[in-house]
Amino acid sequence: MKRLLLPSPRLAGTIRPRRWALAAAAFAASAGAGALWATAQAETSARQLAQTRSALAALRAELAEAEALAAALPDALARWRRLEQAGAFGPHSSSRWPAALRQTLQRDIRAQVTSAHFSPPRSLGGEDEHPVVLASTLALELKLVHEGHLPALLATIDTNAGALVRKRRCRIERLRERHPDARSAALSAHCELDWITVDAGLGGSTR
Amino acid sequence: MKRPPVLLKVDEIGLELFELHPHGVRTLASFARGETAALTGWLHEHPPAAALRAVVELGAEAFELEELPRVRGADRRALLARRLAASFPDPGFASAKVLAGSAPSAPAHSEHLLFCGLSETSAIEPWMEALRAAGARVSETVPASSLAAHLGAGAPGSGAALVVHFSRAGMRLTAARGGQALFSRLAAGFPAAVAAADARWIDEVALTLDYLAGVATLALPATLPVFIHADADRLAGGDALHADARVGDRIEFVALPTAHASAQGDPPARFTAAADAALLHWLAAAPPGLGWTAGGADRAGRRRRTTFAFSAAALALALAASASAALDWTQARAHERERRQLHTQHEQLRRQLAALATASADERKRVRQMLATLAALADAQLPEISTAALFRWLADALAALPPNSLHSLEWQWQAASEPGLAVEIGLATPADDALAARSAPVHGVGRLRRDALIEQLRAHGAVAPRTVEASAAALRIGFELPLALFAGDPR
């Protein structure tokens, strides 16, 4: 004899007539889970794509700037070296003449510096925290025997200034009162010179 | 603690109430036919905590098979209601069920329906009335034939069979297929107690098998297996039944699994109690909807419609979800393709950047600083016009002037639209040139000399030579000297 085993026939009887509905519900649940997963995948991929686009745009901008700077670099280096040669780099010490220049001017009998006054330094620009370009204006009062002595004196200043010197203006005028001695001054001159220095964080270190 | 379920059994003898425990069945009360008032009184004293389930073991159960046109909706409900009302006095104790498959001769667009129910309800109606009067709710009223077909015919899907079970009311033989009773009869002459002593119950089995074999509409197999729910040694002739030529080759005894806690008396009495207990366990295990309800087929139809609607909705939802998933998946793939393309571009640009002298951020910063400094020194980077060069130019341009005519010279660097010098020369008016100082014609001569000087300056490249001051005391001429005029001059 056999003992018939009908595990939970009540449950089986409840499930059997509804098996297709349950299968449809299970299919719907699976499809819903799949839809949720696919939505998450789409959102993730969209986010990753946006990140990639953003990174690419940033890199394009970086490359464009780098290319522009690379194109400007050779000319900039050439100009920079010219400034180095012209003595533009150094500390701005407009409070005193360089000692060598003062001594040279004192020994020059052709021109007499009667007055030399430096204005307070002013900034000519440059990027923040970077080479500071300073300029002071030197106002020179001179007595000259001959106008031809002025270029020589200005050239001496150029050579020994320890700065970049730009002549802004000069005025020469014949003196009304003149000592009959031919060696005495016949002319007065007033010159204004820009005393320019670049206090370099870059200094002269260029590639 | 949860109370055990209370079960009812209604048969020709009367009504019994049982309590189903894990260790067996306990009889709560027993009422003979007609003792409806006693039942009502008992229920008032022992109100059930939950709805009751009832098994009906009556002989007046009819089964009718019929092919009817396949209709839907209200037409179907009306058709079934008319048919049940025509065959059964109380459609509440009848049902219509759709059987799978149709007879070969059945017309197209028809369905095979089984109408079954009580052809006579006088044995049960009074009990139901008493229960209603006592306020007891009966959730299921299940014919014993349905229990036997659903739970006693072997494993689900095992095919047609004849199920035989015993009770105090008799021996029920039920032809079942697919869990559905196709035919059932109660042999009242062979209750459990009689079958324990009289082996002629076997004849009823053979008789029923012969009858079923002759009913073509049932389409039962010739050798229908027989499941006898009883211990073989409790039935008269049970041990030798396998040798019976009529039924011996298809008999299978199924041990009664349950015990009756209240069983007392001799073996036939205990067999009766065990058989009743097994029937009650079938009742407890029966799924909802197995019993009678009004318009059974219609209810089944409503259930099918509801199930269909639910399935259709679930399928539509699944399709929509699948479509959405497919769309999202396609979009995700497209995003991924584009991302890979962009990544390739990114790598190419990185290589281009790495090849530049200004690849690093630090180097670009240095170059920017350099350019900013150079911009600040833009003016200072222009070549100067040396003082000596200026003097040489003046000497050439003013060669026609008498010596010491130049009284003053002023020049100023200008780096505007065209770099160069703004120059102003002051010429001495001769002190002894009285004619020029006093007479108008001399003024004309002075102007001529001034104009000649201006032309001379212009001829040497001076730009916009003009009279700044012309008076008896002074003559000043102003002009510009462009940087280009001194291009070959060393600074």
A2 confidence band (pLDDT: 50, 70, 90):
very low
A31 to B318: CB separation less than 8 angstroms, yes or no: yes
Q: Name every residue whose Cβ is closer than 8 Å to that of residue B483 and which is 6 or more positions away in sequence.
A: B382, B383, B385, B418, B419, B420
* Residues 6 or more apart whose Cβ sits within 8 Å of residue B78: none
Name which of B20, B25, B24 is nearest B4 in CA terms.
B20
Distance from CA of B476 to the nearest CA of A (A): 13
Q: How high is the pLDDT of residue A95?
A: 53
User: Over A97-166, what HEC string results?
Assistant: CCHHHHHHHHHCCCEEEEEEEECCCEEEECCCCCCEEEEEEEEEEEEECCCCHHHHHHHHHHHHCCCEEE
Tell me which chain B residues have a C-beta less than 8 angstroms from the C-beta of A161: none
Q: What is the DSSP string of A16-67?
A: GGGHHHHHHHHHHHHHHHHHHHHHHHHHHHHHHHHHHHHHHHHHHHHHHHHH
CB A202 within 8 A of CB A131: yes
* φ, ψ at B141 (rounded to 5°): -120, 105
ipTM above 0.90, yes or no: no
Nearest chain A Cα to B311, which residue? A21
CB pairs under 8 A between A and B: 260
CA distance A170 to chain B (A): 6
CB-CB contact of B451 with B466 (8 Å): no
> Can you read off the two tokens belonging to residue B240?
């030798």
Per CB-CB distance under 8 Å, the chain A contacts of B372 are 125-127, 130-131
The residue in chain B having the minimum alpha-carbon distance to the alpha carbon of residue A135 is B377
Of B285, B314, B352, the CB nearest to A9: B285
Query: What pLDDT is attached to residue A205?
Result: 40
Rounded to whole angstroms, how far apart are CA atoms B28 and B52?
13
Per-residue pLDDT at B209:
92
Chain B nearest-CA distance from A108, in A, is: 18
pLDDT higher than 90, residue A58: yes
Helix (H) or strand (E) holding A191: strand A187-199
Contact A79, B374 (CB under 8 A): yes
CA B289 – CA B344 distance, rounded (Å):
66
Residue B257's nearest CA partner among B271, B269, B274 is B274
Minimum distance, in Å, between the CA of residue B374 and any CA atom of chain A: 7
Q: How far is B100 from chain A (nearest CA, A)?
A: 13
Instruction: Out of B252, B357, B375, name the one closest to residue A125 (CB).
Output: B375
Q: What is the pLDDT of residue A8?
A: 62
A149 → chain B, closest CA residue? B388
CA distance B186 to B198: 17
Alpha-carbon gap: B397 to the closest alpha carbon of chain A (Å): 16
Q: Which of residues 375-404 of B touch A (CB under 8 A)?
A: 375-377, 379-381, 384, 386-388, 391, 404
What pLDDT score was predicted for residue B488?
A: 72
Q: What angle do CA A90, A92, A96 make, to 5 degrees?
A: 120
Q: Is the pLDDT assigned to residue A94 strictly greater than 80?
A: no
Looking at residue B435, its pLDDT comes to 40
Give chain A's radius of gyration (CA, Å): 43
- Which chain A residue has its CA at the smallest distance from B157's CA? A16
Q: CA-CA distance, B299 to B252, in Å (whole number)? A: 35
- What is the predicted pLDDT for the residue at B297? 46
Chain B contact set for A165 (CB, 8 A): none
User: Cβ separation of B349 and A148 shorter than 8 Å?
Assistant: no
Query: CA gyration radius for chain B?
Result: 61
Q: Distance between terminal CA atoms of chain A?
A: 104
CA distances from B459 to A7, B2, B385, B452, B465 (A): 125, 128, 19, 10, 10
Q: Do B339 and A45 touch (CB under 8 A)?
A: yes
Top residue of B370, B405, B410, B486 to mutate, by most chain A CBs within 10 Å, is: B370
The closest of A140, A150, A137 to A186, measured between CA atoms, is A150
A18 vs B384: CB contact, 8 Å cut-off? Answer: no
Contacting B residues, span 268-307, partner chain A, CB-CB under 8 Å: 284-290, 303, 307
Show the tokens assigned to B398. 């003013």
pLDDT score recorded for residue A45: 94
CA dihedral sign of residues B127, B132, B135, B141: positive
pLDDT in tens, chain B (491 residues): 667 788 999 999 999 999 988 778 889 999 999 999 999 999 999 888 888 899 999 999 999 888 888 888 888 888 888 888 888 888 889 988 887 655 556 566 878 888 899 999 999 999 999 998 888 888 889 999 999 999 888 766 668 999 999 999 999 999 999 888 999 999 999 999 899 889 899 999 999 999 998 888 888 888 889 999 998 888 888 887 777 777 778 888 898 875 665 567 888 888 888 888 889 999 998 888 888 863 344 455 566 677 778 888 888 988 999 999 999 999 999 999 999 999 999 999 999 999 998 889 999 998 998 898 888 888 777 778 889 899 999 988 888 777 767 889 999 998 767 788 999 999 876 543 444 444 433 345 466 677 888 888 999 999 988 888 877 777 889 999 998 888 876 54
Q: Which of B284, B290, B391 sits opposite A147 (nearest CB)?
A: B391
Q: What average pLDDT does chain A have? A: 80
**B21: contact with A, CB 8 A cutoff:** no
Tell me the shortest Cα–Cα distance from A133 to chain B, in angstroms.
7
In this complex, do B227 and A9 lie within 8 Å of one another by their Cβ atoms?
no
Gap between the terminal Cα atoms of chain B: 116
Q: Which residue of B has its CA nearest to A37?
A: B325
B259: closest CA among B244, B280, B239? B280
Biggest CA pair distance of chain B? 180
Optimal mutation site among B281, B282, B319, B367, interface A, most CBs of chain A within 10 A: B367
Q: Are the CB atoms for A198 and A88 separated by under 8 Å? A: yes
Which of A20-29, A44-53, B209-218, B478-487 is predicted most confidently? A44-53
Task: Name residue B294's amino acid.
Answer: A
Q: Is the backbone of residue A111 left (phi > 0), alpha (psi -120 to 50) or beta?
A: beta
B200 and A CB contact within 8 Å: no
B125 or A179, which is more confident: B125
- Chain B residue with CA closest to A147: the answer is B391
Look up residue A94 and give its DSSP letter: T
- 3-state SS record for chain B: CCCCCEEEEEECCEEEEEEEECCEEEEEEEEECCCHHHHHHHHHHCCCCCCEEEEEECCCEEEEEEEEECCCHHHHHHHHHHHHHHHCCCHHHEEEEEECCCCCCCCCCEEEEEEEEECCCCCCHHHHHHHHHCCCCEEEEEEHHHHHHHHCCCCCCCCCEEEEEEECCEEEEEEEECCEEEEEEEECCCCHHHHCCCCCHHHHHHHHHHHHHHCHHHCCCCCCCEEEECCHHHCCCCCCHHHCCCCHHHEEEECCCCCECCCCCCHHHHHHHHHHHHHHHHHHHCCCCCCCCCCHHHHHHHHHHHHHHHHHHHHHHHHHHHHHHHHHHHHHHHHHHHHHHHHHHHHHHHHHHHCCCCCCHHHHHHHHHHHHHHHHCCHHHCCCCCHHHHHHHHHHHCCCCCCCCEEEEEEEEECCCCCEEEEEEEECCCCCCHHHHHCHHHHHHHHHHHHHHHHHHHHCCCEEEEEEEECCCCEEEEEEEEHHHHCCCCC
Q: Which DSSP symbol is given to A179?
A: -
Q: Is B178 on the interface with A (CB under 8 A)?
A: no
User: Among all chains, which residue has been given the structure tokens 């462009």?
Assistant: B482
Angstrom distance (rounded) from CA A7 to CA A16: 13
pLDDT of residue A204: 42
What is the nearest CA distance from A103 to chain B, expressed in angstroms?
23
* Residues B373, A37: C-beta atoms closer than 8 Å: no
What is the per-residue pLDDT for A14? 67
Q: CA–CA separation, B138 vs B55, rounded Å? A: 11
At A169 the three-state DSSP class reads: strand
- State which residue of chain A sits closest to B415, comparing Cα positions: A168
The CA distance from A59 to the nearest CA of chain B, in Å, is 7
Q: CB–CB of B353 and A49 under 8 A?
A: no
Question: Which three-class secondary structure state does DSSP give residue A73?
Answer: helix
Q: Which run of H or E residues covers position A172?
A: strand A164-174
Quickly count: other Cβ atoms within 10 Å of residue B128's Cβ.
20
Of A13, A59, A83, the CB nearest to B377: A83
